[in-house]
Protein backbone atom coordinates (compact mmCIF):
# COMPACT_ATOMS: atom_id res chain seq x y z
CA UNK A 1 0.00 0.00 0.00
CA UNK A 2 1.35 3.38 -0.95
CA UNK A 3 0.99 6.53 1.06
CA UNK A 4 1.79 10.16 0.48
CA UNK A 5 2.34 13.17 2.61
CA UNK A 6 -0.97 14.94 3.35
CA UNK A 7 -1.23 18.39 1.88
CA UNK A 8 -3.25 21.38 3.04
CA UNK A 9 -5.97 20.74 0.45
CA UNK A 10 -6.65 17.25 1.85
CA UNK A 11 -8.37 18.73 4.89
CA UNK A 12 -10.67 20.74 2.64
CA UNK A 13 -11.51 17.65 0.59
CA UNK A 14 -12.20 15.62 3.72
CA UNK A 15 -14.43 18.36 5.14
CA UNK A 16 -16.31 18.57 1.83
CA UNK A 17 -16.69 14.79 1.76
CA UNK A 18 -18.05 14.69 5.31
CA UNK A 19 -20.42 17.57 4.62
CA UNK A 20 -21.66 15.79 1.51
CA UNK A 21 -22.30 12.57 3.45
CA UNK A 22 -24.22 14.55 6.06
CA UNK A 23 -26.31 16.21 3.34
CA UNK A 24 -27.12 12.81 1.86
CA UNK A 25 -28.04 11.47 5.30
CA UNK A 26 -30.29 14.49 5.89
CA UNK A 27 -32.09 13.67 2.62
CA UNK A 28 -32.43 9.97 3.51
CA UNK A 29 -33.42 10.18 7.19
CA UNK A 30 -37.03 11.27 6.51
CA UNK A 31 -37.62 7.95 4.72
CA UNK A 32 -37.58 6.27 8.14
CA UNK A 33 -38.60 2.67 8.50
CA UNK A 34 -36.62 -0.30 9.71
CA UNK A 35 -33.55 -2.39 9.10
CA UNK A 36 -34.27 -6.09 8.58
CA UNK A 37 -31.95 -9.07 8.58
CA UNK A 38 -32.63 -11.03 5.42
CA UNK A 39 -31.41 -14.21 7.10
CA UNK A 40 -33.22 -14.37 10.46
CA UNK A 41 -35.78 -11.58 9.99
CA UNK A 42 -34.84 -9.57 13.07
CA UNK A 43 -35.86 -5.91 12.73
CA UNK A 44 -34.85 -2.62 14.32
CA UNK A 45 -35.36 1.07 13.68
CA UNK A 46 -33.15 2.46 10.93
CA UNK A 47 -32.08 5.35 13.16
CA UNK A 48 -29.78 8.12 11.99
CA UNK A 49 -28.37 7.20 8.61
CA UNK A 50 -25.38 9.50 9.10
CA UNK A 51 -24.22 7.22 11.93
CA UNK A 52 -24.34 4.25 9.55
CA UNK A 53 -22.27 6.22 7.04
CA UNK A 54 -19.75 6.97 9.78
CA UNK A 55 -19.65 3.58 11.51
CA UNK A 56 -20.62 1.25 8.67
CA UNK A 57 -24.03 -0.07 7.70
CA UNK A 58 -25.46 -2.40 10.39
CA UNK A 59 -25.06 -6.11 9.82
CA UNK A 60 -26.75 -9.20 11.29
CA UNK A 61 -25.99 -12.87 10.74
CA UNK A 62 -22.94 -11.71 8.77
CA UNK A 63 -24.96 -9.80 6.18
CA UNK A 64 -25.70 -6.16 5.53
CA UNK A 65 -29.19 -5.39 6.84
CA UNK A 66 -31.90 -4.41 4.40
CA UNK A 67 -33.42 -0.96 4.75
CA UNK A 68 -37.22 -1.14 4.49
CA UNK A 69 -38.54 2.41 4.35
CA UNK A 70 -41.73 3.54 6.07
CA UNK A 71 -43.41 3.93 2.68
CA UNK A 72 -42.53 0.34 1.80
CA UNK A 73 -43.92 -0.79 5.15
CA UNK A 74 -47.11 1.21 4.61
CA UNK A 75 -47.60 -0.19 1.10
CA UNK A 76 -46.23 -3.63 1.98
CA UNK A 77 -44.22 -3.38 -1.20
CA UNK A 78 -40.74 -4.48 -0.33
CA UNK A 79 -38.65 -5.29 -3.34
CA UNK A 80 -36.22 -8.16 -2.96
CA UNK A 81 -32.71 -7.14 -2.13
CA UNK A 82 -29.76 -9.26 -3.05
CA UNK A 83 -27.90 -10.60 -0.03
CA UNK A 84 -24.39 -9.33 0.14
CA UNK A 85 -21.80 -11.02 2.28
CA UNK A 86 -19.94 -8.45 4.35
CA UNK A 87 -16.21 -8.23 4.42
CA UNK A 88 -14.54 -9.09 7.72
ZN1 LIG B 1 -29.90 -12.05 11.53
Query: pLDDT tens per residue, the chain (88 residues)?
Result: 567 776 778 899 999 999 999 999 999 999 999 999 999 999 999 999 999 999 999 999 999 999 999 998 998 866 544 444 444 4
In a domain, 1, yes or no: no
Asked whether 35 and 65 are in contact (CB, 8 A), the reply is yes
CA distance 33 to 68: 6
Whole-number Å distance, alpha carbon 75 to ligand 1 midpoint, is 24
pTM of the model: 0.69
In a domain, 30, yes or no: yes
Whole-number Å distance, alpha carbon 40 to ligand 1 midpoint, is 4
* Host domain of residue 32: 8-86
In a domain, 3, yes or no: no
What string of DSSP letters covers 12-72?
HHHHHHHHHHHHHHHHHGGG--EEE-TTT--EEE---HHHHHHH---EETTEEPEEE-HHH
Whole-number Å distance, alpha carbon 21 to ligand 1 midpoint, is 27
- Residues contacting 34, CB < 8 A, separation 6+: 43, 44, 45, 46, 67, 68, 73
In a domain, 37, yes or no: yes
In a domain, 12, yes or no: yes
Structural domains in the chain (count): 1
Amino acid sequence: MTSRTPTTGDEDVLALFQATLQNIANELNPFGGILRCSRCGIEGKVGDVSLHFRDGWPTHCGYTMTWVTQLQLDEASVSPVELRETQP
